[in-house]
Amino acid sequence: MSENPELLSIETIENCPKARLLRFVGDLDSTNAEATSNRIVELLDGEVTTLVADFSRLRYINSTGLGALLFVNKKVKGVGGVFKVANVNENVLEIIEIIGADQLLEIHRTLEEALASLN
Read off the pLDDT of each residue in 47-73 and give the average, rounded to a whole number: 96
Does any domain span residue 3?
Answer: no
The distance in angstroms from the start CA to the end CA of the chain is 41
pLDDT tier for residue 46 given thresholds of 50, 70 and 90? confident
Structural domain that includes position 105:
8-114
Rounded average pLDDT over 59-78: 96
**CA dihedral defined by 43, 35, 51, 54, rounded to 10 degrees?**
140
| Domain count within the chain | 1
pLDDT of residue 5: 52
- Helix 90-99 and helix 63-78, axial crossing angle in degrees, nearest 10: 70
Q: Which residues pair with 9 in a beta bridge?
A: 23
pLDDT over 90 percentage in the chain: 92
Mean pLDDT (whole number) for 13-25 = 96
pLDDT tens digit string along 77-103? Answer: 999 999 999 999 999 999 999 999 999
Tell whether 13 is covered by a domain. yes
81 neighbors 50 (Cβ within 8 angstroms): yes
Interior/surface letters 65-84, b for 16+ CB within 10 angstroms, e for the rest: bbbbbbbbbebbeeeebbbb
CATH code for the domain of 34? 3.30.750.24
Q: Is residue 2 part of a domain?
A: no
| Vertex 54 angle, CA 51 and 59, to 5° | 135
